[in-house]
Structure 1
Amino acid sequence: MPAPLTPAIEPVGADGFTRRERVWLDQTIKHMAELNDLLAERGSPRRYGIGPEAPPVEPGSETTGLWQVANNAVAWLNATNLPGDHETAMRLMKLAEEAGEVMQAYIGMQGQNPRKGKTHTADDVAAELCDVILTAAVALHQFTDQPAATLDHHMRRVNHRMKQASSDHGN
């Protein structure tokens, strides 16, 4: 059996990988892309990635839509963290943390803390609300394979109830 290649035998390139590691990684990335294409073809929102960094999102591209960014975040988290009840709990706790950051920004915008004064703006509150929406979209993936359709269905029900309540009150 041949001796395994080591950095002493095979030099590490500028990207931090040996040639053999780079070939393996490139093949794995290609297979992961093929898997994501197959998942997309059957309508699954699940996407998988490799490595500790989230897939890049180009500002202004189609990948900046809520569900694409949420899918990217889910793929990143799934590739980085072990799946299971603990990970689900962490994603739900992250949602609660983000909601707390909305309140912190709102309190800061109002200057409610006399020791600190006004520390935030309406833009800060809006950004924190956006974080809540994205974090909720990521968490929703834990409970359905069709999070966008699930949200759309729920929004239709809420809209129907609002119309019904409006007509019940003569509006």
Structure 2
Amino acid sequence: MEDTAWLRVARLRHWLDTNSAPELTGDVRLWRVLKISEEVGEVAEAMHGATGANPRKGASHTWDDVHTELCDVIVSSMIALATCTPDAARLLDERLQHLVDRVMPSCEGMGR
């Protein structure tokens, strides 16, 4: 079986399911979706640091930090989606194709 991004996400999700703090009660989907917000905040912090936008902190981050944090947003989103539905890979693929078809209607059918 090929080691795809979605299989890696499944392994991370399994690890989270078995190692999360027991005091995190309730619907685990809530915690997984909230994690996305945390990661987005880290992207914003890295952006401020990479551009030196905060005069008090100056250049506290690099563009590599921004890239890493963006990847964390994507992975957290994939984990949240996989937590919410067993059809995560199909849904993401369909949504991405819908977006491509919507903005590039002359290219419908390309890459399918």
TM class by shorter-chain length?
0.7 to 0.9
Equivalent position of 1:126 in the other structure: 67
Of 5, 13, 16 in structure 2, the residue corresponding to residue 74 of structure 1 is 13
Aligned partners of 1:105 and 1:121 also within 8 Å: yes
Could you tell me how far apart the structure 2 residues matched to 1:139 and 1:165 are?
33
Q: Deviations over 1:137-165 (max 9, x none)?
A: 00001221121111001111010001139
Change (3 A) 1:118 1:134: same
**Greater RCO structure (CA 8 Å; 6+ sep):** 2
RMSD (Å) for aligned C-alpha atoms:
2.4
Aligned partners of 1:66 and 1:134 also within 8 Å: no
Q: Which residues of structure 1 form unaligned runs of 5+? A: 1-39, 41-61, 167-171
Q: How does 1:8-157 map to 2 (within 5 A)?
A: 63=3, 65-81=4-20, 85-157=26-98
Please give the secondary structure, in 1, of the residue aligned with 2:55. Answer: coil
Please give the secondary structure, in 1, of the residue aligned with 2:27. Answer: helix
The structural deviation recorded for 1:86 is: 3.0
Aligned partners of 2:29 and 2:84 also within 8 Å: no
Could you tell me how far apart the structure 2 residues matched to 1:147 and 1:86 are?
18
Sequence identity (%): 35
Could you tell me how far apart the structure 2 residues matched to 1:68 and 1:155 are?
19
Could you tell me how far apart the structure 2 residues matched to 1:165 and 1:97 are?
38
Does 67-76 or 129-138 show the bigger shift? 67-76
Bigger radius of gyration among the two? 1
More helix by share: 2
The structural deviation recorded for 1:116 is: 1.0
The structural deviation recorded for 1:84 is: 7.4
Q: Which residues of structure 2 form unaligned runs of 5+? A: 108-112
The structural deviation recorded for 1:79 is: 1.9
Could you tell me how far apart the structure 2 residues matched to 1:76 and 1:143 are?
16
Please give the secondary structure, in 1, of the residue aligned with 2:6. Answer: helix
The structural deviation recorded for 1:77 is: 1.5
TM-score, normalised to structure 2, is: 0.82
